[in-house]
A and B are shown apart, each in its own frame.
Chain A
């Protein structure tokens, strides 16, 4: 299945704290023949802080990038970060109203005419590539690995804006993981907020909210959590100790980007996937996965003799 060309908007954290997400996303897209085109001189969409200041201002920061995409001759864009996604989509929607659009354009050097649709990388993998193709490309199935899929609060909400997956029980990552051989455990807090960007200024908030998510994943029997948002991943992984302290608990559970696991299942070289960048290492979970596979093979052999 050939996919159209997408302008790729990595988002600022992709250069820093979520480097491994950007790298594994690019690697997976290349392997599955999703055509990503880098954007020249893209700028920050403003993420959360911009929209807390003003909506016109926030839209302007996004619109500058949408203008770059149009100048590339493209109408379709993709980003791995849900915050960037919501800003780009919101700007596009709201600028359809003349008054709003005019006020935004007054802030820009060049006005933005509209016409770019931004989708998440996850949506493109499911819709353009398709689960069958993903399953077919799997060379190292994730058999024996129990995965909890955590989507985060804004990726699919509000549904009128995001228009992709179910907003209470999204299944895109679940389905991809299942297609690649993993066992996806039912995870009831798929869209519950992790604490977002409050980690720095109000650590108590992220610690509590992420703590609850980690506990739920462990209770559900997961070996690893997969996520599709740099901030969720950071709160659950980098800040895991802070969360555990708030919980008064002492387990550990790795949180990976779904693209990293996809890359592993596709047999891509580890250097492209960045498992070493994960704070709570998935080594043990992967080792156990290998063992479970061995046990299974042994027992099926045993039953034959």
Chain B
């Protein structure tokens, strides 16, 4: 081979603690190296041009670049050598920045280590072979899981981009948490009024197929070619016949079923349409509360339904679809505040969550927009809001800041003043987080114009007193223990990962963090992608965020999918496993250890042999390690290559 080695200064990042010229000189002594040069910024245009020129002039057939981490610029240099006429996989990189210059200041030691790393890169390159990716067809249909605002936006953008979309939502209507809100900050727009048109667009868009009251059952396949099974849960109402007239709800004798949309405030009929703008506007029977199911006697809704849509014998249905990309937009759930025994542990009816309060504020809520104490229905005059319930709290394993509670509490306090002009609201806070456009101004407005009293300090306990609640907190700015006699206490509960998120992540084969939020590829630069090709993220499923950020991510994920679908065909990464059939004994261990399902056993002339599904293989190498025969090898990371690197490193 004729190998060229390029050592990057990276300004002073590398050159500051590594003698790059010396490294280049040392590299010339390595076998098959015919050219070595140090460059100021290898990734810059002149840097790349220098590499390309050297390839052409010196007739190089392989390049080593010693610079930053390959995670930064491997694609850059691959494209560069391809422009120079080489196969893009005849490139190796030595990380002499993150692994050398950034971790120590000893110039001599660093230079020696850099030389070693270049040495092993050269040894690896010597055994590289040109690789060719394979191309495969794509199904240009997307699956969006989750019908909240992020999922809705993603679906609309994809549909407007001319692609078919399947939108799956596990409750009976799309809208998510945003549909449960009364108003949104900082504009105090009516939430359903701004979300409603988008929901209608989803329902009416010819490119969108909406499966509500459905969940993802199983996912198999790979990017561009996913096979997904959806479970349409039994609603016991034939939605083809249901007109959403609501007659069933009126006559249903069971009025105490769990009203999830209203966060358990008030009761709902056992057959229910969750809210007036529900999309689709179809009824669902909750079998846990329905007398027909529980006692075997009722049937009122079946009698009354004008279109005969009730069907008590309905079963779940499995639907199979083929899609090319998946967007997980499954949202969040609220922290269970009953963990705070000092706040009553759920025993005090007048201590409620922010979302429950939102339902009280809403005109389509259980009290028709009149704020009433759950205990006695009276209008509260003194309302205490407590921030950071289940956020920024290591003791309940929620150290993170949810990021939108300061804003929604400010909004709720302002709205309270609108609803009850002679009320007084108190907000107990630690810090106010108001980073968005017009956010800080909005919180100040609450204080300066609406008379909300902000008290800096936490609340240690809430105890019932004289029919109300005594809230004991601190005003740390005054240096004082304080007490407020409240009629109602609203807890600004934090967000946590949606229930079932971890199980869905396993089905999609994506990672999740400690808290169940799906893991993005890079927290800064790739927030809507995952490390699983073809699966993207949008909204709070990736981490708590406000509505504009969720909407933005919905569009971003859609753009990623449209980009994916714009290709004629997709190419796989050829740095994947290959099975040497002659060595394979058909033990099947690789098949069971592959986390991606990318190896399967085939019949080869009557004998079981392993075969890699090239489009699914992610190149992790677990099969190569598992194989007792060494029959499975990871291209570009073969056992021989790794052993040569080790030998080069260990020889003095």
Contacts and interface: CB of A to CB of B under 8 A. Distances in A.
Interface of A: 166-169, 186, 188-189, 219
Contact of B464 (A167, A168, A169, A188): A188
B463 A168 contact: no
A207 B603 CA distance: 87
Contact of B341 (A169, A189, A219): A169
A174 B375 CA distance: 24
Interface string B114-128: 000000000000000
Contacts of A169: 341, 345, 347
A166 B464 contact: no
Which A-B residue pairs are the 4 nearest by beta carbons? A168-B341, A188-B463, A168-B342, A169-B341
B483 to A, nearest CB: 12
Nearest to A170: B341
Contacts, number: 15
A169 B342 CA distance: 8
Nearest to B466: A219
Contacts of B345: 168-169
A169 B462 CA distance: 12
Interface string B347-373: 100000000000000000000000000
Interface of B: 340-342, 345, 347, 463-466
Given A169-B347, A219-B466, 13 more contacts: A166-B341, A167-B341, A168-B340, A168-B341, A168-B342, A168-B345, A169-B341, A169-B345, A186-B464, A188-B463, A188-B464, A188-B465, A189-B463
A259 B342 CA distance: 27
A189 to B, nearest CB: 7
Contacts of B341: 166-169
Contacts of B465: 188
Contacts of A167: 341
Nearest to B469: A188
Contacts of B340: 168
A167 to B, nearest CB: 7
A189 B470 CA distance: 12
9 contacts: A166-B341, A168-B340, A168-B342, A168-B345, A169-B341, A186-B464, A188-B463, A188-B465, A219-B466
A186 B347 CA distance: 11
A286 to B, nearest CB: 28
Contacts of A219: 466
Nearest to B347: A169
Contacts of A188: 463-465
Contacts of B342: 168
A168 B345 CA distance: 9
Contacts of A186: 464
B49 to A, nearest CB: 64
A186 B463 CA distance: 11
Nearest to A166: B341
Contacts of B463: 188-189
A188 B465 CA distance: 9
A168 B464 CA distance: 14
Contacts of B464: 186, 188
A188 B347 CA distance: 11
B518 to A, nearest CB: 33
B170 to A, nearest CB: 34
A145 to B, nearest CB: 22
A169 B340 CA distance: 10
Interface centre among B340, B341, B347 (most CB of A within 10 A): B341
A189 B464 CA distance: 10
B533 to A, nearest CB: 45
A14 B321 CA distance: 76
Contacts of B466: 219
A97 to B, nearest CB: 22
A18 to B, nearest CB: 28
A169 B347 CA distance: 10
Nearest to B464: A188
A287 to B, nearest CB: 30
B68 to A, nearest CB: 45
